[in-house]
Amino acid sequence: MRIAVLRERAAGECRVAATPETVKKFIALGATVAVEAGAGAGAGISDAAYSEAGAEVGSAAAALKGAGIVLAVQAPDPGDLKGADKGAWVAATFDPFGNRARVDAYAKAGLEALAMEFMPRITRAQSMDVLSSQSNLAGYKAVLAAANVYGRAFPMMMTAAGTISAAKVFVMGVGVAGLQAIATAKRLGAQVSATDVRSATREQIKSLGAKPIFVESVAGIEGEGSGGYATEMSEEYQKAQAELVSSHIAKQDIVITTALIPGRAAPRLISDAQIATMRPGSVIFDLAVAQGGNVEGSAPDQVVEKHGVKIIGYSNTANHLAADASALFSRNLYNFLSAFWDKEAGKPVLDEEIGDAVRLTQGGAVVNERLKG
């Protein structure tokens, strides 16, 4: 089995879908790995490092020739995959709901698209979950970026010249990114509070030493929610949450929003009126800005100032930690393919539970049930 790793084509994308570590592991399985020259440059990985790991390094055309599997961070245009085997697998992130045209193009090209963001939230797939690995880094980076813009210290400092109060940080949405944001802010010495619509997160927030802020008058989502994700809430809950947030947010120095709903635009958590209640010099980091934003007025990769409050957010937050993000993403891909590797066949053979979940296209058709409706 020949595995091709291409340089990312998406503008500004610095991550890479395989590292020398995973190249060695794929070769140990019996695969041949071909890497396009310069593929790892953005993540600090040289062509020589890939060669030393046993990969063939050359042009994209040379890497693709005869490839049965193509690995990528963001799925390339099918036109960039000429030379790969008919029916070749492409394991990457596809944004299937936001870019349906690309999914249809993969079907038309006869390629088998495997969307890593559709990995089911089950125990045995945890090591394959790219959303979790990248969100973890994004939550960390969000706090550091907000701290950099904030312009004040995070921890309480007692000095001969007087005392500096600790920064107050409020995290909205306690998934993987939110939990890491809480942990990072605590390590920096901030006073941290957090909220979520899922009841199970209350104890998770407490376990990290933060204060849970929850709507008590209206029931939220019991337990973890569907697959660990939140769903759109009732108007009654949204109204109660808005009132709670309005009273709490006015006292905060930094707010990190992380709420996403799969297949939907990001829910609006903070309005312009609520921003106006915050102290000048406060900072909001919108981790969902690329999906429409949790914060009114946020814009990808820009610092927007409203009512003296700075609103920031990256279109690709994990990309700002490209080396670590690549290491984790590539391990997710290796864990995924190696778990199903059939030594006799010399290639992976997916089972129904995970295969049906991630497979978007096969045999010239869109086959994923989530995209058929």
Q: pLDDT tens digit string along 181-202?
A: 999 999 999 999 999 988 889 9
Q: Which CATH superfamily is domain 135-315 in?
A: NAD(P)-binding Rossmann-like Domain (3.40.50.720)
Work out whether strand 304-306 and strand 254-257 pair parallel, antiparallel, or are unpaired: unpaired
Phi (first) and psi of residue 366, to 5 degrees: -80, 120
Give span(s): CATH 3.40.50.720, the chain: 2-118+322-357, 135-315
Nearest to 63 by CA among 27, 34, 24, 33: 34
| pLDDT(313) > 90 | yes
Q: Determine which one of 7, 15, 106, 132 is catalytic.
A: 132
| pLDDT(161) > 80 | yes
Q: pLDDT tens digit string along 76-125?
A: 999 999 999 999 999 999 999 999 999 999 999 999 999 999 999 999 99
* 3-state secondary structure at position 36: strand
Query: What residues contact 352, with CB distance under 8 A and at least 6 apart?
Result: none
Lookup result for tokens 């995959």: 81
pLDDT of residue 239: 79
Report the first-to-last Cα separation within the chain, whole angstroms.
34
342 pLDDT tier (thresholds 50, 70, 90): very high
Nearest to 89 by CA among 70, 108, 103: 70
| pLDDT(224) > 70 | no
Cα–Cα distance between 95 and 315 in angstroms, integer?
Answer: 14
To the query of whether residue 132 is one of the catalytic residues in this protein, the response is yes
CATH architecture of 2-118+322-357: 3-Layer(aba) Sandwich (3.40)
pLDDT of residue 215: 77
pTM over 0.75: yes
* 3-state secondary structure at position 298: coil
Determine whether 48 is exposed, middle or buried from the number of CB atoms within 10 Å of its CB (0-12, 13-18, 19+): exposed
Mean pLDDT for 34-53 is 99
Work out whether strand 309-312 and strand 283-286 pair parallel, antiparallel, or are unpaired: parallel
Amino acid residing at 190: A
Q: Determine which one of 80, 102, 202, 229 is catalytic.
A: 229
Would you say 156 and 180 are in contact if contact means Cβ atoms under 8 Å apart?
Answer: no
Q: Determine which one of 46, 126, 165, 247 is catalytic.
A: 126
Q: Determine which one of 47, 100, 104, 121 is catalytic.
A: 121
Mean pLDDT for 273-277 is 96
Mean pLDDT for 301-330 is 98
CA dihedral for 330, 126, 95, 106, sign (positive or negative): positive
Q: What is the mean pLDDT of the chain?
A: 94
Cα–Cα distance between 361 and 87 in angstroms, integer?
Answer: 10
276 pLDDT tier (thresholds 50, 70, 90): very high
* 3-state secondary structure at position 260: coil
227 pLDDT tier (thresholds 50, 70, 90): low
To the query of whether residue 126 is one of the catalytic residues in this protein, the response is yes
pLDDT of residue 263: 79
pLDDT of residue 223: 45
pLDDT of residue 217: 60
pLDDT of residue 255: 98
Mean pLDDT for 224-239 is 63
To the query of whether residue 301 is one of the catalytic residues in this protein, the response is no
237 pLDDT tier (thresholds 50, 70, 90): confident
| pLDDT(231) > 90 | no
Q: Determine which one of 85, 129, 253, 286 is catalytic.
A: 129
To the query of whether residue 338 is one of the catalytic residues in this protein, the response is no
